[in-house]
Chain A
């Protein structure tokens, strides 16, 4: 309660009536302690909003340059504030996607061009739903998946087998059996600034703070890491596994899985595992192709052998890999794919807002103005207006 008062800078209640009357600024304060939002401060409104969040809503100013030209502020990882925010967000009166959309309608917030904001929103909503249903901050991996994906896909996903496995024992186990004892604990995301944090050496510490990670800008293969404890409930490096999530807000990624994108989430390449990892635990990798035209949830299967096994040969039915992974392709930000989505239209708009381009052109009133604006940024898009002045 006290943390809630500090967050809102006023008395704190969790009634629907109270939540409904929260101002845009107060809602943004609640969102920003759970989802890392960055201000680019291009407008007076966003500068004012950023200043007020620091002044009244617990945002932290890290540095101000001597001329007061640049102010760098963050909502640092503070699980208690995130918990207070959750108490408000679990109310039906707090519509997280719509509140986020309302704020993104104004320029000034950095929107993340791969739709990470939307992916984090979906993951948080799934976590909150599981947490509220189970009345616990700790949620089994299975329950998180059940709240993230539509019910029609649950059986298929939970009974799927890994796409690659270290040994025959792991290859034969279903996702549900593999992660039977695995538990997630997070109530907020924190943006990490160095890709080396996505190592089990650091991730167990992130779990201790109840945090999941939004990856550094230059980490191309992976956007979101939600760590969890695999074997049991004791915090230690060897016990850490994770959801590795890549997000695409690009309509060229459709309902059919593109396997090379999962290869970019190779846990050895991204240094999630050490080079000579002694305890590589099974992982779940997901790809959110949010801008796909059609909805689908596809679980990648173990590829068939290209050469038939010789009669009588004692060869394994699978090729042993360096790690065990379940790969899931989720296409379209739609209520037919993700369980937390109630209204496709809000997510459609969120996807558009998450793309700086071509929105900067399409926001212009007439085609003539759009073309004129496109011509001011030549050779950067396939639209003829980017080219026809010079070729």
Chain B
């Protein structure tokens, strides 16, 4: 796996005028230590943090920079996330009106040269998932009517809201 290019996290001043240095890797490490007892970055965990970005398609708007050329907030976001891929966190970008190609372009159209040369691959999009992913199952001969008529059961049926 090729290593990620270095990210420069700038320093900025907070509301009190103090200088603050942002380091994504350090921040996520601290969060994982808080969430997982005896966290070890070399161990494998199931995701403990899932961040969902709803209606994410405006992030994909392409802009032009005189030095770096074409870029979008989404491509920068993705690059930042690449930097913390060893940590058990997962980001979901949801869009109801965008195009799949905005998030998952074909490799030759991707902003990243490593994706273009297929050193890195992208995850396939999740689309047309159907409904009832979280539905509890009624079992013939066992499940009572009172259970299926409970709010807990009927909330599990249909699309996850």
Contacts and interface: CB of A to CB of B under 8 A. Distances in A.
Contacts of A83: 151, 154
A185 B148 CA distance: 9
A229 B138 CA distance: 14
A291 to B, nearest CB: 35
Given A137-B149, A205-B138, A208-B138, A80 B158 contact: yes
Nearest to B151: A83
A367 to B, nearest CB: 51
Contacts of B121: none
Interface in A45-97: 76-81, 83
A76 B158 CA distance: 8
- Among B141, B142, B144, B154, chain A packs the most CB atoms within 10 A around the CB of B154
Interface in B112-144: 131, 138-144
A80 B148 contact: no
Contacts of B146: 138, 233
A188 to B, nearest CB: 10
Give the size range of B's interface with the partner: 10 to 19
A119 to B, nearest CB: 23
Interface in A170-229: 183, 185, 204-205, 207-210, 229
Contacts of A233: 144-146
Interface stretch (A101-109, A121-129, A234-242): A234-242
Contacts of A80: 154-155, 157-158, 161
B158 A234 contact: no
Overall SS of chain B's interface: loop
B148 to A, nearest CB: 5
B30 interface: no
A2 B159 CA distance: 13
Contact of B161 (A2, A77, A207): A2
A79 B145 contact: no
Contact of A235 (B131, B138, B158): B138
Nearest to B143: A235
B158 A79 contact: yes
- Among A80, A205, A207, chain B packs the most CB atoms within 10 A around the CB of A80
Nearest to B144: A233
Contacts of B155: 3, 80
- Among B145, B155, B157, chain A packs the most CB atoms within 10 A around the CB of B145
A274 to B, nearest CB: 15
A236 B158 CA distance: 21
Interface string B31-70: 0000000000000000000000000000000000000000
A81 B144 contact: no
A78 B158 contact: yes
A6 interface: yes
Contacts of A229: 145
A138 B138 contact: no
A138 B148 CA distance: 10
A235 B138 CA distance: 8
Contact of A78 (B139, B144, B159): B159
A6 B161 contact: yes
B158 A207 contact: no
Contacts of B149: 136-138, 185, 210
B99 to A, nearest CB: 14
A204 B143 CA distance: 11
A207 B145 contact: yes
A208 B158 CA distance: 12
A79 B157 contact: yes
A81 B100 CA distance: 28
Contacts of A234: 141-145
Contact of A208 (B141, B148, B151): B148
A236 B140 contact: yes
A83 B155 CA distance: 10
Given A80-B158, A83-B154, A237 B145 contact: no
Nearest to A201: B140
Interface of A: 2-3, 6, 76-81, 83, 136-138, 183, 185, 204-205, 207-210, 229, 233-237
Given A78-B158, A137-B149, A235-B142, 14 more contacts: A6-B161, A76-B158, A78-B157, A79-B154, A79-B157, A185-B148, A185-B149, A204-B140, A209-B157, A210-B154, A229-B145, A234-B142, A235-B138, A236-B141
13 contacts: A3-B161, A76-B131, A79-B158, A80-B157, A136-B149, A207-B145, A210-B149, A234-B144, A235-B139, A235-B140, A235-B141, A235-B145, A235-B148
- Top 7 nearest A-B pairs (CB, nearest first) are A78-B158, A208-B138, A79-B154, A233-B145, A137-B149, A236-B141, A208-B148
